Amino acid sequence: MSEPPASDLTARGLDPVAVDAALRRLARADEAPWLHREVARRMAERLAIIRLQPAQLIDWWSWLGAGAELLADAYPAARRIAVEPTPALRSRSESALRAPWWSTRRWTSPAPIVLGEGDELPRGTQLVWANMMLHAVVDPPALFARWERALAVDGFVMFSCLGPGTLRELRALYGRLGWPMPTPNFIDMHDLGDMLVQAGFADPVMDQETITLQWPSTQALLDELRSLGCNASPLRAGGLRTPRWQRRLLRELESLAGADGRPALAFEVAYGHAFRAAPRLRGGEETTVSLDDMRAMVRGRRAGPVS
């Protein structure tokens, strides 16, 4: 992941070096984080509202997104393309997507393809699926534009990510103690909707829910947070923390416990989907339109009302 200018880092509040370190560590985990798997399940339930049956789909950050099996079940005949941000995650995805010899899915759909994030994307895709990864992207508008170029007209993007209400209790605790911020900035869902429109998408639909997790102990809470990634804020404390500081953190986290003595934290999850609109042709301007897009516009005109 290339490092953007310092001004962009300040605006987004996200350090790509820290994100890369977290991705390398998460690639060594036995499985994707539980929260990612749960959000993928909830997001897959929303596929029922989309009538389009994709012939080809892209699963962005597939292994950590934990949606590969859900997508295979929803669209058993679709060609699946997984896109991974690091070589280690690409290897994990290749192993996970390799169907065993007894699987009937080997004979009902093309073999999945795994690409690196910097590879050229195939055009004409009907679905881009991205579960729980946009909050780790420094430049979401640029990524939305890339997805828009990969999608066919009337294809759609569906994603989820953490919103600004995530870990609000932890941020309040750190603020009270005068410590640097424990999280990067999370983007509001309305801003994500605006970014989609600017990238050329139509009819964006955004909503959110709050998932509150409880743990039996403060140590279990810290272990869970570590399994989700790391603090990638450029304003985080520099250097390593001491065991003494960690013991104080564990004591302070006890203030997050409810009546049952179990500490809890809230995670705001934003969901979004939008369709790729047909390009608009305006007279007097030089415009380049692909053959597939031109065919889609012609079909749309033929399907319109007859005067």
- The residue among 46, 99, 47 whose CA lies nearest residue 69 is 99
Return mean pLDDT, the chain: 87
Residue 80 pLDDT grade (very low, low, confident, very high; cuts 50, 70, 90): very high
- Residue 183, pLDDT above cutoff 50: yes
Question: What per-residue confidence (pLDDT) applies to 300?
Answer: 44
Overall average pLDDT of the 297-304 stretch: 45
- The residue among 2, 66, 97, 84 whose CA lies nearest residue 227 is 66
Q: Which of 151-165, 242-256, 293-307 has the lowest mean pLDDT?
A: 293-307
- Residue 287, pLDDT above cutoff 60: no
Question: What per-residue confidence (pLDDT) applies to 215?
Answer: 97
Question: What per-residue confidence (pLDDT) applies to 118?
Answer: 93
Spelled out in words, what is the top-level CATH class assigned to the domain 6-164+186-209+269-303? alpha beta
pLDDT digits (tens, 9 = 90+) for 86-115: 999 999 999 988 765 455 555 466 889 999
pLDDT digits (tens, 9 = 90+) for 123-180: 999 999 999 999 999 999 999 999 999 999 999 999 999 999 999 999 999 999 999 9
What distance, in Å, lies between the first and last C-alpha atoms of the chain?
Answer: 53
Q: Which two tokens stand for residue 206?
A: 């955004």
Q: Which two tokens stand for residue 60?
A: 């962005």
- Give 34 or 295, the one with higher predicted confidence: 34
Question: What per-residue confidence (pLDDT) applies to 110?
Answer: 81
| pTM, 2 dp | 0.86
- Residue 84, pLDDT above cutoff 80: yes
Domain ranges of the chain: 6-164+186-209+269-303
Question: What per-residue confidence (pLDDT) applies to 216?
Answer: 97
